[in-house]
């Protein structure tokens, strides 16, 4: 349970950095508290998408992983970010990623920041 909370906080931090750096990834809200709450819900949703959908997509695109020497991972991560944006819209959360190339850059930012945060945050159950 502790590991799940830490991963969700790391995802929220990584998504916050992507929102801060990219104008086409938006998170709106009336107050800071509402934005933080929305960001935590989106991070939870992003974690669920990555744990449920991403493994299926990786299995289906395995030949492309071999062919591109793993570079397709960035595209898969971008698609997971776009799926999270779409689901957030369906759940009436104020998080939006505008376009595929924004998602690619956003996925790169989220991956790097998540990796860096995982290095410093405690890990364990």
Considering the chain, what percentage of its residues have pLDDT values greater than 70?
95
Tell me the sheet residues that pair with 27.
95
Q: How many Å apart are CA 44 and CA 93, to the nearest integer?
A: 12
Residues contacting 61, CB < 8 A, separation 6+: 72, 76
Of 8-12, 16-20, 85-89, which range is least confident? 8-12
Contact 113, 13 (CB under 8 A): yes
Q: Tens digits of per-residue pLDDT, 35-87? A: 999 999 999 999 999 899 989 998 998 999 999 988 899 999 999 999 999 99
């Amino acid at each position: 349970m502790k590991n799940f909370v830490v991963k969700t906080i790391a995802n929220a931090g990584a998504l916050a950095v992507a929102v801060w750096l990219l104008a086409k990834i938006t998170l709106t809200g009336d107050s800071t508290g509402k934005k933080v709450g929305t960001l935590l819900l989106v991070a939870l949703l992003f974690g669920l998408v990555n744990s449920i959908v991403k493994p299926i997509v990786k299995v289906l695109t395995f030949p492309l992983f071999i062919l591109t020497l793993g570079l397709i991972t960035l595209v898969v991560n971008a698609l997971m970010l776009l799926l999270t944006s779409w689901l957030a819209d369906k759940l009436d959360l104020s998080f939006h990623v505008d376009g595929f190339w924004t998602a690619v850059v956003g996925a790169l930012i989220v991956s790097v920041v998540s990796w860096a945060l995982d290095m410093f945050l405690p890990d364990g159950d």
